[in-house]
Every structure is written in C-alpha cells, then in structure tokens.
Amino acid sequence: LDGLRAVAILGVLVFHILPGALPGGFTGVDVFFVLSGYLIASVILHDLRARRFSMREFYLRRIQRLLPNAVVMVFATVGLATVVFLPSFVAQVAEHGLWTLANLSNFFIVHHFGGYWQDVATASPLLHTWSLAVEEQFYLLLPVTLWLLARPALLRRPRAQSHATLAVLCGLAAASYFLALYGTFANPVPTFYLLPARAWEPLLGAALAVWRVPVAAGLPLRDSAPASS
C-alpha cells in the first residue's frame, strides 16, 4: 500500500509537469487520501484489538514521523525563497511555513490564495502542503473516534460493535461526500481545501480497514498482519 501511495503521488507530479500526458493524474490526491485512511485505521485497530492502544503513543509516533521532515522542508523552502523572491513575498512564505508546521496550511491557503488553479496560489512554494494538513487533521480525529466506538458498551457483543463502528464511519463518509457535492457549487475554495468536505476519502479507507480488521477482539481478522504506520 505504501507503493500504491507512491504511484498516486507520481501521478500528481506528472499531471503538474505534463498535464497532457496524464490528464487524470490529479485523482492521485484522492487515491492517496483513501489509502492513508486505510493504513492509519489498520494500525489503530490492531492496537485496539490487542488492548495496547495509547493515544499518547499514537500522536508521538505521528510527530516523530512527520515533524522532522516538515521542518527541513519548510526551512529549505524559506531559505530558497530568500534568494529567489522579493522580501515582501519571503515574509508570506515564512508565515505560511509556520502554519504548515501547525498542520493548518489549508486554512492559510483558503484565506490568502483562493482556488488551487489561480495564479496567486500556484506561485506559492508551499501550496502542496494543503493535503498534508488535511491528512494530519484527519489523523487527529480518527483515533478518538475509533477509541470511543471501541468502549466497553458493546464488548459483550463483538459483532454488533464492529457493525456499529462500520456504520458510523460510513455515515460520516456519506455526510462528508454530500457536503463536498454541495460545496463544489456553493463555496468551492474551502470545499477543495478543508477536511469536512475531504473526510469522506480517508473515511472510506478507514471503513475498509474496519471491515478487514474488526475493532472487537472476538471476531476473526480478514488480514494476517497490521499495516505499517
């Protein structure tokens, strides 16, 4: 699945460099979100089943995995911007970098740049970090959701517990999808960038993970090993 995520990213890169060569390459963003939702939910579900899930450890792992790379990327981008751009624009890039490290880049873009295809947006060297922000915001909420759904209320009925978890995730995905459909016409910029209208994609992946790795320990696994984080 990590390989599939790499293919999805390559599709996006080819689309930006040679749009005519791969017109559908931008759908790699959507594929990446679905796969990310599946992978992270699988990790959480395996830990929940084994009764070893720790919210603190989960968030620490995410910080250790992503923050060092993000810091290097932001500092390198700001450093290069000081050479290439005017000082007024460098200040904006630096501010955007701070929002990126706070996993709020998508909010910064909505308020400062507008649509993804507008010239002012495409000139931003950190524009691509909107998708990282969406992913990290989803990672912030998913563990709490799965942990709450795995509480003892249904532990004596494991099949009902897993069905309830799957139903909740599918319901949230459907609500997000219809919000995306409505927002595409009513308010397309925040619809494109923000989590509420994007959540249906990683939620689909998470729902598939629940189907394969039921949250209740009393049900058999449909896969043999946990996904990597």
pLDDT tens for residues 99-155?
999 999 999 999 999 999 888 888 899 999 999 999 999 999 999 999 988 775 445
> Distance from CA of residue 206 to its chain's centroid?
11
Predicted pLDDT at 92: 94
- Residue 200, C-beta contacts closer than 8 angstroms, at least 6 positions apart: 172, 173, 174, 175, 176, 177, 180
- Residue 43, C-beta contacts closer than 8 angstroms, at least 6 positions apart: 226, 227, 228, 229
Predicted pLDDT at 153: 47
Largest CA-CA distance found in the chain, in angstroms, rounded = 64
18-47 b/e (C-beta count within 10 Å ≥ 16 → b) = eeeebeebeebbebbbbbbbbbbbbbbbbb
Amino acid (1-letter code) at residue 191 = T
Q: Average pLDDT, stretch 24-37? A: 94
Q: pLDDT tens digits, residue range 143-189?
A: 999 998 877 544 556 666 778 889 999 999 999 999 999 999 999 99
Choose from 39-53, 77-91, 195-209 the range with maximum mean pLDDT.
195-209
Q: Average pLDDT, stretch 62-70? A: 93
